[in-house]
Amino acid sequence: MKIMKRSTAILSISFLLMACQPQANNALAQKQNFICKSLIEGFLKTQQLGQYQLQHLQPTLHQTSAQRLYQYHVSSDHEMRIHMPQQQNLNFQCSQTSAQHFELKLLNHEQQEIQTLLSLDLLPQKTMDNLTAFALKTQ
């Protein structure tokens, strides 16, 4: 009887722990996120806005989405400085309209404006393979 109760308890704990495990990120969503974050962070650097850090991403990387919203917030170590940015949050929309085309837009909720910042066309994979001097192993 004790063995059965222990087995049941261990089994119950195992199920609870499995339920608490985070979902695996979607590989395509990770690729989209990498490209979008690179575009956003490149834009922030060129505009000398390095004090912003990613605060929120929607939808999460557990699912593929043609459009993601990124919210950047002034990092806390910059909040004490005299030269504070006027906007505490910057909201970006990153869209993938085809396998190779990405667009980055800045959303201004106060003025209800959307401004296209960057557009990126990736080379087709076959072209990249021809331009690459070495072969990468795919798993």
Q: Residues 86-112: pLDDT tens digits?
A: 688 999 999 999 989 999 999 987 778
Residue-by-residue pLDDT tens, the chain, 139 positions: 556 555 555 545 554 444 454 555 688 899 999 999 999 999 999 999 988 999 999 999 988 899 999 999 998 765 455 555 568 899 999 999 998 999 999 998 777 889 999 999 998 888 877 887 666 666 5
Alpha carbon 131 to its chain centroid, in Å, reads 28
How confident is the model over 26-36, as pLDDT tens digits? 888 999 999 99
Q: Are strands 67-74 and 89-96 parallel, antiparallel or unpaired?
A: antiparallel
Domain extents for the chain? 27-131
| C-alpha 103, offset from chain centre | 14
Query: What DSSP state is assigned to residue 134?
Result: S
Q: Which residues contact 90 (CB under 8 A, 6 or more apart)?
A: 44, 49, 52, 71, 72, 106
